[in-house]
Each structure stands twice: as C-alpha cells, then as structure tokens.
A = this chain, B = another copy of it.
C-alpha cells in the first residue's frame, strides 16, 4: 500500500466514541500507510486532528460534510432529509472514485440505505447483505446476512451464498470456499421452508456447497461461508459475543477464587490476554457490505481507534481486489437454480 492509491473515506461522526476515537483510528491507519479521507464538519475534524498531533505529512485528507445522522434517526428518512450527512458524503466520494471505499461506525441502517441510494446494486442483486468475518479457530469464516434483511425469501439466501463465495475467494483468498446454510440440524429434512429451498438451489450452483451447518460450527472454521437470514444471523452473532463474555466472566471469578489460582492467573495473564485478542471483535474491524457497487464497511457502534484502523486496512484490501466486478455474474444464475431445484 503506497500513499498514491485512493483513500478510504471514514465517517468521522459515526459511532459512540465519535469523533475522537474515529479520528484516532484514521490517524493510526494513515501512519501504517493506508490513506484516509475523514468526512464530517471540517472544523470539528481538523480540531481533533490537531489535538492528536497528526503530522501534516500523513496521507489524511478532510472532506466537509455539514450534517450527522444519529442512531435513533430513521435510516431511509434521515438519508433523504439530511442531504449533506457524513455517511452519504462518504458514499458520494466512493461513487465518484475519489475514495476506493468507506468505513462508518454510525447508524448501520443508514449506512445500508446510503449504499443502496448512492452506489446502487450490481445487476440482478435483490438485496445487499452485511457480512461478518468470524474469529474462527482457523481460517476467516464469513456469515451473512447479519441483520440488513430480517424477512428473507429463498432467492435472497441463494444470492447471499453466491456473493459470500465471491468475497471469500477474491478478498480473503480462499481457493475454493466451502458454503453452508445455517440450520437446526445437519439432515436435509431439517430446517425451514426457507432453508430447504435455498439449500436445494445452492447444491446445484457449482460451488463447494456442503448443505446445512449448525450453530456449533460457526467458529470452528470448517465452513468458509455461512448463509442465513438477517434475523437468525443477528441472534447468532450476538449469542457468540454474549457467550464469550460470560465464559470470560466465569473464568475471571474462577481465577480469583483462591490464592493459588490467583497466582496461576497472574502467570498465565499474557496467554489469557492473547486469547482475549483472538476473540476480540475489534480485531475484525468492520462488516463489509455485499451487493452494492462499491466497498463499504460497517463498524460496530462501540468502535474504538483499533476497530477503525482495522476496518480502514480491510477496506483498502477489499478495494484492491475489485471483487465487486464479479458480483453480478455470481448472482445471475440464482433464479434458474431455484427453479431447477423446485422441478426435481
């Protein structure tokens, strides 16, 4: 990565810790050679940069945007009413080619709405999806959709599978990604009407489709792409977060319970912190959007500087691969696959 490539647009005003943590994350990314353009009220952003002693030589630009979308704004309405909001301006920069991608830790509904409005969808894409890269025991398993599409039809799940396969292959470099549909059991007879129809179609897609996977397979890394509707995906993701947190809490209590175990815990502390980092969602940085004409990453509302830095890095990586060019061709056979599956 050289400073000659187009920057990633960073929404300076999105997230619980904006603008401070966001600007810091952008500075950290720029220091590692990843160019950024910070989008938000110019005075506010420049003030944050000055306070953080960002060197003028860093590949950081500032692009003015007057308005901010809040977490409790209605995504679609806010996107239309607040024309000059920082999320929308990020996408404008991507659309005109000034930025190679964007990152926002703001209102995720508004980010999705902005992506669809400004970038639009590749031909044939029914519904864009939010992808999560999971902290698997091995590999970088993807799960989609993560909450953009709550009520799904089979065609949506089939397209999620095909788009996720492209992302895993092109961006994460998995030679032949394995794809599975999340269900309540491994047997074909399990699942809902939705999962059975999607599964029957994906089986015919000429990809490495493995049928159903279960909740316990999400983090093993056995499957590269895990397909689900946005409701189930969101529940599963938050269940993973909650479980990891509760296990950590049990662990802390257990270690503090006796003197010997406290000493043991101190000796093992570095290792335990290493584990915490492995399971840390901030390391992942952000969730890419799939099915829009450009690169967009939604970061967690609680994002700190590290999360933003990682999201910027990943957005640059994704943009370099031009994976978006392959999405239309990937989803094109979806309808025919569903029809053929229904015939047999």
Interface, chain A (partner B; CB < 8 A): 136-137, 147, 150-151, 182-185, 190-193, 214-220, 228, 230-232, 234-251, 253-255, 257-258, 260-261, 263-272, 274-275, 278-279
Contact = CB atoms under 8 A, between A and B. Distances in A.
A270 B258 contact: yes
A258 B271 contact: yes
Given A151-B192, A271-B257, A279 B264 contact: no
Given A150-B192, A192-B151, A271-B255, A235 B215 contact: yes
A239 B261 contact: no
A140 to B, nearest CB: 14
A202 to B, nearest CB: 18
Copies of this polypeptide in the complex: 2
A270 B257 CA distance: 10
A218 B247 contact: no
11 contacts: A147-B185, A182-B235, A215-B234, A218-B242, A235-B235, A236-B236, A239-B239, A240-B243, A253-B275, A257-B274, A264-B264
A246 B270 CA distance: 19
A220 B242 contact: yes
Nearest to A256: B271
Given A219-B242, A254-B275, A264-B269, 11 more contacts: A215-B236, A215-B237, A215-B239, A216-B239, A220-B242, A255-B271, A257-B274, A261-B269, A261-B270, A265-B268, A267-B267
A215 B244 contact: no
A189 to B, nearest CB: 9
A182 B239 CA distance: 11
Contact of A267 (B191, B250, B263): B263
A247 B248 contact: yes
B242 A255 contact: no
A240 B258 CA distance: 28
B267 A261 contact: yes
Contacts of A271: 254-255, 257-258, 261, 264-265
B147 A184 contact: yes
A21 to B, nearest CB: 21
